[in-house]
Amino acid sequence: MSDQEKSVGVLGAGTMGSGIAIVSARAGFKTILVERDKETLDKGLDLIDRFFVKSVKKGKMTPEQKDLVMKKNLIGTLKYEDLTDCEFVIEAVFEDLETKKQVFCQANEVCPPETIFASNTSTLSVTSIAADSGRPDRTIGVHFCLPAQVMKLVEVTRGIQTSDETYDRTMEFGKKLNQVFVTTVETPGFILNHFIVAFNNSCIKAYEEGLASVEDIDKAIKLGLGYPMGPFELLDYIGMDTQLQVSLALFEQVQDQRFWPPPLVRRMVDAGHLGRKTGKGFYEYKGAGMFGA
C-alpha cells in the first residue's frame, strides 16, 4: 500500500493532537482525528485549518495543496470504529496514566492486531501505558516536540515488552512523516524534558527574583546560546498549565527540586494566563489559539 492508502489515527484534538494530525496529513497519510465531544473536535479542526491558511499565506503550500490535505487526508470523528484501517494509532490525550490506558483499550477493541499503538507521553512510563493496551508488544512511545507541526524532533521510547518489529516499523514511519526520530531509554522526562522543564523553571524563578525582564531573559538566551526561541516564548507555546502538569509529574517520580514549579506558574494558571491558547501568558497575543500570534 502507498502512504496515501494507509491511515493514521490520532486520539485527542487538543494542542498536541492537532499538531500531530497536521504532521501526518501533510505527509500524505489519511489521518483520522478522534475526539470524545464535537465541540473539542470542531475547535481542533478549525485550528488545523487556520494553520494551513497561514501556510498558504507564507507560500509554504498552494491553496490546492491545502484543500487536498483538509478535504482528503484529514477526517474528524467521534467514533473509534473509524480507526479500523489504521496502521498506527497515536494517542495525544491528557497526561494521565488512566486516561491513556482507557483510550488505548477502546482502540484495541476495533483495531486489527497489526496496528501499532504509539503514546505521545512526555513523562509517563511506556511500559505502564502498554500494560492494559491488549498489545504491549506493539505499543511504543513517540513524544512529538511542541509545536509538533513546526518542530522536527520526536523521541522514541520502547517499553519493556515493545518488540523489535514495532520499533523498526516506528522508525520507518518517522522517515515517512519527514520527522527526526531519536531513541531514548524509558526514564522520566526522556531526553528533552529532562533538561527543558528544569531549565524553564529556573528561568521563571530568575524572573520572579528580579534578575531581568521577560524580554531581556529571552533575548539573552536567544543571542547568547543560539536558541531559536526564548524560554518565555516557548512557555507561551507550551502553555503554563502544561508546564505545571509536567513539572509536578517529573518531581513526583524523581524528587528533584529542579522540577518543582515556581509559585508564579500556579498563579498564572489560576489567572488563566496560559499563553497563546488563551491570548495572554508572559506576552499578549491578538488572538487566542495554539497557532495565534
Query: Three-state DSSP class for 102?
Result: helix
Q: Is 155 a catalytic residue?
A: yes
Tell me the CA distances in angstroms from 40 to 13, 18, 223, 238, one per residue in order. 7, 11, 38, 18
Strands 30-34 and 7-11, sheet pairing: parallel
Query: Three-state DSSP class for 185?
Result: coil
- Write down the catalytic residue from 122, 125, 200, 201: 122
What is the CA 291 to chain-centroid distance, rounded? 14
Q: Is 122 a catalytic residue?
A: yes
Measured from the Cβ of residue 154, the count of other Cβ atoms closer than 10 Å reads: 23
Cell numbers representing residue 71 in the block: 478535504
Beta bridge partners of 119: 91, 141
The Cα–Cα gap between 274 and 244 comes to 10
Those residues whose C-beta lies under 8 Å from the C-beta of residue 263, and which sit 6 or more positions away, are: 208
Q: Per this entry, what is the length of the chain?
A: 293
Largest Cα separation within the chain, whole Å, is 58
Q: Let me know: does 263 contact 209? Beta carbons within 8 Å.
A: no
Cell numbers representing residue 127 in the block: 511500559
Measured from the Cβ of residue 126, the count of other Cβ atoms closer than 10 Å reads: 26
The Cα–Cα gap between 22 and 52 comes to 9
Q: Is 143 a catalytic residue?
A: yes
How open is the CA angle 47-53-58, to the nearest 5 degrees? 130
- Write down the catalytic residue from 119, 155, 194, 247: 155
- Write down the catalytic residue from 7, 143, 233, 247: 143
- Write down the catalytic residue from 55, 119, 120, 193: 193
Q: Which residues are catalytic?
A: 122, 143, 155, 193
